């Protein structure tokens, strides 16, 4: 991609009305545009990151038996009433010119239960697992922290249907392990935290939390075995000694990036989702619900991986693999950099080539701000040495490498 052709542009300064680090860097770097409080447009650079996050999520959800579908965001009042959730504070309500009432989907237990009722009749139909990646809507009275708490956000929600609590428990642990793989691949260190079920279930649930000063949750966690609990579950005093290994307990603020719930039969009973067991007895299906927020993950990555110059994207989700810069107007430099650009692209390496006529300082500043993992500079100096100036965004040291050595970084 040529820098001069990017739809968005970087900005010289941070937005004055933003306090959150993620919003500051994402807006200034041309990744997102704020439309109103808690509502953002994800520009092409951010969309590339989201696509990579979602690819990792899809691969891991598919590996544990998930089938992808897409449900409507516009959900009729009748579905919310069946579960007694029409009156929740966070739902956006709409009334049409025909006096029909809808709620915008902030979660999808109701629709998926109504759908499942048509396809599950026998124990032979179970277990079933489906998921979607879709925008959700929540009327947040305190939309803040940039993309971490928004009124519209992207969510991967997975739903499982089982014959028994034992089968649900087994699959619940499968999802927890799968989520751990997702975050490891993305580059985030998470804690699996016990929490209260809130509006979803009376059972304990589990959250995936990333320690960060930008977080809104307070968690207590064991240094030794990593067992953790949310403050909302354990109260003000929290844990003092780990109940699992007697290790030392620390507390900290954290960002919730995913959660898992054992729904039991609450929604299957409300929507008459039943199956006949092997003896011909009708029983309610036992359900689980599992959420993971791609847009929140994107914001969390910025909170965790940045310095005073800009973002430092992990390689697995970076918008481009290489930020290519040419210095000077010498024709040999331009020929060399264009050839390198084409060679990298021909080998499947995603390149952002800064072809603009601007100062070296501006090019270097934008490279740091955007945060592509590898910066490559071609100049008269590098040509004379038959080398390339290569610097990883996460390091300060600059290396002089040959083209072959550069390609080796990408195993080409």
3-state secondary structure of 51: helix
Cα separations (Å) of 374 from 60, 153, 245, 392? 27, 30, 42, 4
Counted residue by residue, the chain has a size of 412
Name which of 315, 316, 312 is nearest 302 in CA terms: 312
Report DSSP state, residue 408: H
Name which of 210, 176, 174 is nearest 190 in CA terms: 210
Residues of the chain short of pLDDT 70, as ranges, are 197-202, 412
Helix axis angle, 294-304 relative to 21-28, nearest 10°? Answer: 100
Check residue 232 and give its pLDDT.
84
**167: enclosing H helix or E strand:** helix 165-186
d(CA 35, CA 33): 6
The separation between CA 9 and the C-alpha centre of its own chain, rounded to angstroms, equals 24
The sheet that has 388-392: what strands, in order across it? 351-354, 322-326, 374-378, 388-392, 398-401
Check residue 238 and give its pLDDT.
76
pTM above 0.85, yes or no: yes
On whether the CB atoms of residues 50 and 57 are closer than 8 A, the answer is: no
- Say which residues have a Cβ less than 8 Å from residue 188's Cβ, sequence separation at least 6: 210, 257, 297, 300, 301, 304
- Say which residues have a Cβ less than 8 Å from residue 310's Cβ, sequence separation at least 6: 25, 29, 368, 369, 370, 371
- Residue 39 bridge partners (DSSP): 36
- Residue 291 bridge partners (DSSP): 157, 259
Instruction: Tell me if the bond preceding 259 is cis, omega within 30° of 0.
Output: no
d(CA 254, CA 300): 10
The separation between CA 134 and the C-alpha centre of its own chain, rounded to angstroms, equals 12
Check residue 265 and give its pLDDT.
96
Cα separations (Å) of 188 from 21, 249, 347? 17, 21, 28
Q: Provide the 10 A C-beta neighbour count for residue 118.
A: 8
Check residue 199 and give its pLDDT.
54
């Amino acid at each position: 991609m040529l820098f001069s052709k990017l739809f968005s542009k970087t900005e010289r300064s941070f937005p004055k009305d933003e306090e959150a680090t993620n919003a500051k860097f994402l807006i200034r770097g041309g990744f997102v545009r704020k439309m109103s409080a808690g509502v953002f447009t994800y520009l092409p650079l951010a969309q590339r990151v989201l696509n990579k996050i979602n690819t990792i999520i899809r691969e891991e959800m598919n590996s544990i038996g998930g089938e992808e579908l897409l449900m409507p965001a516009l959900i009729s009042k009748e579905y919310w009433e069946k579960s007694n959730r029409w009156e929740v504070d966070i739902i956006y309500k709409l009334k049409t010119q025909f006096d029909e009432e809808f709620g915008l989907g902030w979660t999808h237990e109701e629709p998926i239960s109504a759908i499942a009722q048509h396809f599950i009749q026998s124990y032979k139909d179970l277990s079933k697992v489906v998921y979607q990646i879709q925008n959700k809507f929540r009327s947040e009275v305190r939309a803040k922290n940039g993309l971490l708490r928004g009124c519209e956000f992207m969510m991967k929600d997975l739903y499982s249907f089982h014959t028994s609590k034992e089968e649900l428990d087994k699959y619940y642990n499968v999802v927890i392990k799968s989520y751990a793989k997702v975050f490891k691949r993305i580059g985030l260190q998470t804690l699996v935290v016990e929490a209260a079920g809130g509006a979803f279930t009376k059972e304990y649930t589990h959250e995936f939390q990333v320690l960060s000063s930008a977080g809104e949750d307070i968690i207590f966690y064991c240094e030794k075995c990593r067992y953790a609990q949310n403050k909302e579950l354990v109260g003000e005093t929290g844990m003092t000694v780990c109940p699992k290994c007697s290790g030392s307990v620390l507390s900290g603020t954290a960002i919730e990036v995913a959660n898992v719930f054992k729904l039991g039969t609450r929604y299957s009973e409300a929507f008459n989702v039943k199956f006949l067991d092997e003896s011909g007895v009708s029983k309610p299906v036992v359900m689980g619900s599992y959420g993971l927020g791609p847009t929140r993950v994107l914001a969390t990555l910025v909170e965790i991986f940045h310095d005073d110059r800009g973002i430092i994207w992990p390689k697995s989700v970076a918008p481009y693999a290489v930020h290519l810069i040419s210095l000077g107007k010498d024709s040999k430099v331009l020929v060399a950099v264009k050839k390198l650009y084409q060679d990298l692209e021909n080998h499947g390496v995603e390149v952002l080539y800064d072809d603009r006529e601007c100062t070296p300082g501006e090019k270097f500043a934008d490279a740091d701000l955007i945060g592509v993992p590898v910066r490559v500079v071609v100049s008269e100096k590098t040509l004379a040495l038959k080398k390339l100036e290569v610097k990883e965004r996460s390091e300060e040291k600059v290396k002089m490498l040959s083209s072959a050595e550069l390609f080796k970084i990408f195993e080409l």
